[in-house]
Amino acid sequence: MTHCKDLYDELCSFRNLYRAFVKARKGKRFKSGIGEFELNFEDELFRLQKELVNQTYSPRPLRRFVIRDPKSRVIHASAFRDRLVHHALINILQPIFEPAFIYDSFANQINKGTHKALQRFDNFKKRVSCNGQLIKNARYSNQIIGYILKADIKHYFQTVDHDVLMKIISRRVKDERVLWLIEKIQQANSLQMSISMNWIIL
C-alpha cells in the first residue's frame, strides 16, 4: 500500500469515522466531553465528515494539565472529536507504515503493547543471562554480565523537526488532502504546545 493516492475519500467515509469513534471512546465513555458527543454521535459524525470533506476542519484548543508519576509532566490532551480524527487518520495510515517498523516497535501496534514489550524484554534478559546459568570467569558466583540502556528524549514532540517528518510521510502518502490534514493537526498542536511551554518557562 505504499505511495497511496486517494486515501482522503476513505478517511472521510462514514464507515471509517464510525470505526474511529468506537476506538476513540473505548475505555473512556464516562470522561468529560465524550458523553455529550455520544448523545448525538450520528449528527456529530456527519458534521465532522462535512468539515473534513470541505477541508474546513480545524483542531480545537488542547487541554493542558500536569501529572506526577512520580516526576511532574505537562500533558496536552486533544478534544474528543479531534482524537476521533486522529484515529480515522491512523486507520488508513497504519497499513502503509506498520510494515516498515522494526519488529521491536510495540507502542500502538496491533497485538502488541506494554505486556508484549515486557515479554520481549524478558526474552532478551534470559538470553543475556544465559537463562540464569553461571558465567565462566565471573568474579562472583551469582554474577550476570549485561547492560541495559534506559533513555528518554526530552520534549520529543515539541522539538521533532516537522519538515523532515512531513518529507518522510510524503514519500509513502501521495494524497495531498491527507498531507494537508496531518499538517493541520501538527501545526495546531505545535503552536499550542509552544505557547504553553513558553508560559511555563516565564
For 62, residues 6+ apart whose C-beta sits below 8 A from its C-beta are 76, 77, 78, 189, 192, 193, 196
pLDDT above 60 (res 84)? yes
What integer pLDDT is reported at residue 188 of this predicted model?
79
What integer pLDDT is reported at residue 48 of this predicted model?
95
Within 4-131, residue ranges assigned H as helices are 7-12, 14-25, 34-39, 41-53, 80-97, 114-128
pLDDT above 70 (res 202)? no
Place of cell 538470553: 127
Cβ contact 166:183 at 8 Å: yes
pLDDT above 60 (res 199)? no
149-171 pLDDT, tens digit each? 888 877 777 788 889 989 999 99
pTM of the shown model: 0.76
Cβ contact 178:55 at 8 Å: no
Using alpha carbons only, what angle is made at residue 87 by residues 170 and 65, rounded to the nearest 5 degrees? 105
What integer pLDDT is reported at residue 71 of this predicted model?
75
What integer pLDDT is reported at residue 127 of this predicted model?
79
The chain-wide mean pLDDT, for the chain, equals 81
pLDDT above 90 (res 86)? yes
Task: Describe the crossing of helices 80-97 and 41-53 by its angle, rounded to 10 degrees.
Answer: 60
- In degrees to the nearest 10, what's the CA dihedral of 120, 96, 54, 165? 70
- Confidence band of 8 (pLDDT split at 50, 70, 90): very high
User: What is the C-alpha radius of gyration for the chain, rounded to an integer number of angstroms?
Assistant: 21
Cβ contact 87:48 at 8 Å: no
DSSP state of 106: -
95-154 pLDDT, tens digit each? 998 888 888 888 777 788 889 999 998 888 877 777 656 555 556 555 666 778 888 877
